[in-house]
């Protein structure tokens, strides 16, 4: 089973794909990277580019489930949350268009699962991912580490089951 974690952004969107293998408790990192969007292009162009790049990635990696963090907004950064909602919506649309099951996790849940601290910094996430995935260097930019963290958190929840994977409206629920 492949789990794809996505950290949506309007200039960089991080992704991390992990795989659960039979008789192996810990997920294995398959691929991780970043989709780079034209930062100075109009919003509509960037959203189209994000959709095209992400659907191509979904076609290549063929995940069983895609996981995105739930939108979090601080009252001082409402505009940022609204703008990020655009990217997140495109991510959800891309997954739906490819028939991928979609799940969502709270940012604090991901951080706590990966570092033990629900309010960990980006640097702490990078360090934890480097250690847990046995990487030679820090995953960079931080969006990549965040996406891997999302994928690992979801995959570990599935591996320790029983967990009911969210069903698509056109399919029955599947217990893993």
Q: Which tens digits make up the pLDDT trace of 86-100? A: 999 999 999 999 999
Q: How far apart are CA 73 and CA 64, in angstroms?
A: 29
What's domain 2-175's superfamily in CATH?
Ribonuclease H-like superfamily/Ribonuclease H (3.30.420.10)
Q: Is the pLDDT confidence value at 169 over 80? A: no
Separation of alpha carbons 5 and 158, rounded Å: 14
From the list 23, 18, 77, 64, the residue with the least C-alpha distance to 171 is 64
Mean pLDDT of the chain: 89
β-strand partners of 103: 67
Parallel/antiparallel/unpaired status of strands 65-69 and 2-7: parallel
More confident residue, 175 or 136: 136
pLDDT number for residue 163 = 47
Q: Which residue has the higher pLDDT, 167 or 71?
A: 71
What mean pLDDT do residues 95-109 have?
Answer: 95
**Which residues are annotated as catalytic?**
7, 69, 143
Percentage of the chain exceeding pLDDT 90: 77
pLDDT tens by residue, 111-163? 999 999 999 999 999 999 999 999 999 999 999 999 999 999 999 999 887 54
According to DSSP, the β-strands at 12-19 and 2-7 are antiparallel
């Amino acid at each position: 089973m492949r789990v794809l974690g996505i950290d949506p952004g309007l200039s960089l969107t991080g992704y991390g794909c992990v795989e659960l293998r039979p008789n192996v408790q810990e997920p294995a990192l398959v691929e991780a990277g970043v989709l780079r969007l034209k930062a100075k292009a109009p919003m509509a162009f960037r959203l189209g580019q994000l959709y095209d790049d992400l659907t191509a990635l979904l076609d290549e990696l063929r995940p069983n489930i895609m996981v995105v963090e739930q939108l979090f907004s601080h009252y001082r950064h409402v505009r940022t949350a609204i703008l990020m909602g655009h990217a997140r919506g495109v991510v959800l649309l891309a997954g739906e268009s490819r028939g991928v099951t979609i799940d969502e996790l709270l940012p604090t849940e991901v951080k706590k699962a990966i570092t033990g601290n629900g309010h960990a910094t980006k640097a702490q996430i990078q360090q934890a991912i480097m250690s847990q995935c046995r990487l030679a260097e820090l995953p960079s930019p931080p969006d990549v580490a965040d996406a891997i963290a999302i994928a690992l958190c979801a995959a570990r929840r599935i591996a320790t089951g029983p967990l009911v994977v969210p069903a698509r409206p056109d399919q029955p629920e599947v217990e893993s």
